[in-house]
Structures are given as structure tokens and as C-alpha cells.
């Protein structure tokens, strides 16, 4: 019943509709777009270094003659997955750890929060620097996991404190008296009532992950040249943003479009889940 009602509300929601269409177009662009360009992302055009957008190179070229259109889309393929996956993993982890700690209290709470505090205190950068050489040859998806592992702690603390008040609500008590297992109560009654917070957190995490990945790549972890991501492109382009704006405008424009579409979907989902909104 709930999923049916929420889905119906989501479909009716205008923001969610536009957001999904935008995201779908971006994904299509990232994966289908390269087939329409004249250049592969590995190609280098030695006749055109740093040339502005033209009929030949639609989005211009880089210092070493790479076609901006091709490499931006290549970067986007990576970044969409990194952003979405990191946000999903981080927020889910935050919700589960926070809700379990807050709901059960006692030693569960103490152990989980001890772990959270430990992760907060540890310099995440250092850990990633130590771990990533070992992941050099492993799939870059491990990198996503690594990014997510250091992005959820503060949210989970917020989730925990909200759960502390939610668990005293009468409907939670009612569920307990009905004989519903504890973990089911958490997923059915506690987490949905935190959804507004979690959705906002997830949408923020998407852009955070894309930018964070760029910072790490800069130091030699994560996506390594010649491979690219939106983050590395933006980091490089930012240096020449005034002289050669196309190096910066296209990748960052794509990031903004990506984040915007995710925000729209998030807002729509929040409204669909929140019975208080009038959509």
C-alpha cells in the first residue's frame, strides 16, 4: 500500500518528473553521446591545442589536444556512478547505524557510536592514502566504497539523536506491542520518518563525492590519468578558467546539471514521502 501510494504521488510530482527526465538525458548523453562525436576520448588532435569550441571540436580541446566533448562525457560516465553510489552507500550506512544505535541504546549504541567517533577522529585522508596503493589494480568501485566509508558519520549521529525521540512515539510502542520484530520496526517506522533528512543528505553527498574524488585524484589516488572523471577535469580546468573557459565551463556545467537533477528528484521524493505536502 505505502509503496503504491508513494509511487503514485511521485509520478504526480512535477519536480520529480523533470528531475528524472534531466537525469535520464544526462545518463544518455554520457553513454550514447560519445558515438555521435568525431573523436574518441583517447584521441589527440595535434593540429588543435587549446582551440575554442568549433564545428570540428564541439566543446573545444585541451592543452594536449584532447576533444573536450569526448573526455567530458567519459568523465561523466565515471562521476555519475561514483556520485550516486557513494551517496547511496553513505546515506544508507548513516541511516542504519544511527537508527540501530538510537533505537536499541545500551551497549549496541555504545559500540556503534564508539566506531563512529573513531572514524570521525581518524584522518580519513591518511587512511585512504594508506589503503589505495593496495587497491591500485582492483576495480575502481573499491574507491567508491572508500569514499563512502568516510562520508556518513556526522549524519549517523544526527539520525541517532532523532531516533532517540522517535522510539518513544506511541506508534513505535504500538508496533512493539503488536509483536513486530525490532529490525522491522526500525525499517518500517523509524527510517521513513527520517526520510526528509536522509534525502537531503543523499543529494548533498552526490556533489560532495564528485568533488571529493577529484581532490583525491589530484594526490594520485582514485581515477588516474589517462582516465578522467568530472572531478579531475574540473580541477584541471579551474586553473585556466579565465583564459580558456571551455576547459572549465563544460565539465562544471555537467556537474551542476547532474546535481540539479538529483536535487529535483530528491525534493520530489521527499514531497511524495511526506504526507504533509500538498502535491
Partner 1 sequence: MSPILEVNDLTVTFPGGIQAVRGVSYQVSRGEVLGIVGESGSGKSVTSLAVMGLLPKNAVISGSVRLHGRELLGMDEDELVRVRGKAISMIFQDPLSAFTPVYTIGDQLAEAVRIHQKVGKDKAFKRAIELLDLVGIPHPTVRAKAFPHEFSGGMRQRAMIAMAIANDPDLLICDEPTTALDVTIQAQILDVLKTAQRETGAGIVMITHDLGVIAGMADRVLVMYAGRPVEEGRVDDIYYRPRMPYTMGLLASIPRVDGAEGPLVPIEGAPPSPKNLPPGCPFAPRCPMRIDACEQEEPPLVTIGDGRHVACIRSREIEHKNLSSTDVYPVPVIPPSDIQRVPREQRAKVLELDNLVRHYPLMKGAVFKRRVGTVHAVDGISFDIVEGETLALVGESGCGKTTTLQQIMQLEPPQDGRIVVLGKDSAKLDKASRKALRRDLQIVFQDPMAALDPRMPVGDIVAEPLRAHGQKNVSAKVVELLELVGLAAEHAERYPQHFSGGQRQRIGIARALALEPKVLVLDEPVSALDVSIQAGVINLLEELKNRLGLSYLFVAHDLAVVRHLADRVAVMYLGRIAEIGTVENVYDRPAHPYTQALLSAIPLPDPEMERTRKRIILEGDLPSPADPPSGCRFRTRCPKFARLSEHERRRCVEEEPVVIKLANAVDHGAACHYAEEIEVIPASDDLEEK
Question: Which residues contact partner 1 by CB under 8 A?
Answer: 1-2, 4-5, 169-171, 173-175, 177-180, 184, 188-189, 192-193, 195, 273-276
Min dist. Cβ of residue 121 to partner 1 (A) = 21
- If the CB atoms of residues 29 and 180 are measured against partner 1, the closer one turns out to be 180
Strand partners, 67: 61
**173 Cα distance to chain centroid:** 35
Nearer to partner 1, 55 or 178 (CB): 178
Q: Which is nearer to partner 1, 179 or 226 (CB)?
A: 179
Q: How far is the CB of 180 from partner 1 (least distance, A)?
A: 5
**Distance of closest approach, residue 18 Cβ to partner 1, in angstroms:** 24
Q: How far is the CB of 262 from partner 1 (least distance, A)?
A: 22
Minimum distance from CB of 253 to partner 1 (Å)? 37
CA atoms within 13 A on the CB side of 5: 6
Of 179, 198, 202, residue with least CA distance to 190: 198
Tell me the closest approach of the beta carbon of residue 215 to partner 1, in angstroms: 37
Residues 6+ apart with CB under 8 A from 185: 103, 172, 175, 176
Q: How far is the CB of 195 from partner 1 (least distance, A)?
A: 7
Nearest residue to 156 (alpha-carbon basis) of 101, 93, 92, 94: 94
At a CB cut-off of 8 Å and minimum separation 6, what does 112 contact? 97, 100, 101
Which helix (H) or strand (E) covers residue 121, if one does?
helix 106-121
**Least CB distance from residue 183 to partner 1, whole Å?**
13
Nearer to partner 1, 9 or 157 (CB): 9
- Between 146 and 194, name the residue whose CB sits nearer to partner 1: 194
Q: Which is nearer to partner 1, 186 or 259 (CB)?
A: 186
For residues 57 and 189, which CB has a smaller minimum distance to partner 1 in the complex?
189
Between the alpha carbon of residue 170 and those of residues 50, 122, 189, the distances in Å are: 65, 39, 11
Cβ-proximal residues to 47 (8 Å cutoff; 6+ apart), any chain: 65
Sequence-ordered list of residues with C-beta below 8 angstroms from that of 45, at least 6 positions apart, any chain: 39, 57, 61, 65, 66, 67
127 vs 120: CA distance, rounded Å:
12
Residue number, 180 or 241, with CB nearest to partner 1: 180
Numbers of helices and strands, H then E, in the chain:
12, 0
Amino acid at each position: 500500500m505505502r509503496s503504491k501510494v508513494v509511487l503514485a504521488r511521485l509520478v504526480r510530482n512535477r519536480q520529480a518528473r523533470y528531475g528524472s527526465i534531466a537525469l535520464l538525458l544526462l545518463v544518455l548523453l554520457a553513454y550514447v553521446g560519445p558515438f555521435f562525436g568525431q573523436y574518441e576520448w583517447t584521441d589527440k588532435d595535434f593540429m588543435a591545442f587549446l582551440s575554442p569550441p568549433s564545428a570540428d571540436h564541439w566543446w573545444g580541446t585541451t592543452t594536449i589536444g584532447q576533444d573536450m566533448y569526448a573526455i567530458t562525457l567519459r568523465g561523466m560516465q565515471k562521476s555519475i556512478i561514483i556520485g550516486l553510489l557513494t551517496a547511496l552507500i553513505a546515506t544508507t550506512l548513516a541511516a542504519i547505524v544511527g537508527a540501530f544505535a538510537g533505537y536499541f541504546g545500551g551497549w549496541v549504541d555504545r559500540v556503534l557510536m564508539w566506531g563512529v567517533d573513531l572514524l570521525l577522529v581518524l584522518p580519513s585522508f591518511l587512511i585512504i592514502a594508506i589503503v589505495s596503493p593496495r587497491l591500485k589494480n582492483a576495480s575502481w568501485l573499491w574507491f567508491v566504497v572508500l569514499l563512502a566509508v568516510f562520508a556518513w558519520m556526522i549524519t549517523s549521529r544526527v539520525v541517532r539523536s532523532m531516533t532517540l525521540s522517535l522510539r518513544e512515539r506511541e506508534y513505535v510502542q504500538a508496533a512493539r506491542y503488536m509483536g513486530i520484530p525490532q529490525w522491522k520496526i526500525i525499517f518500517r517506522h523509524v527510517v521513513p520518518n527520517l526520510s526528509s533528512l536522509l534525502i537531503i543528505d543523499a543529494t548533498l553527498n552526490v556533489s560532495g563525492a564528485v568533488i571529493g574524488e577529484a581532490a583525491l585524484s589530484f594526490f594520485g589516488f582514485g581515477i588516474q590519468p589517462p582516465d578522467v572523471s568530472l572531478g579531475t577535469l574540473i580541477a584541471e580546468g579551474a586553473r585556466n578558467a579565465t583564459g580558456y573557459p571551455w576547459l572549465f565551463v563544460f565539465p562544471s556545467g555537467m556537474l551542476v546539471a547532474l546535481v540539479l537533477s538529483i536535487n529535483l528528484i530528491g525534493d520530489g521524493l521527499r514531497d511524495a514521502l511526506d504526507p504533509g505536502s500538498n502535491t
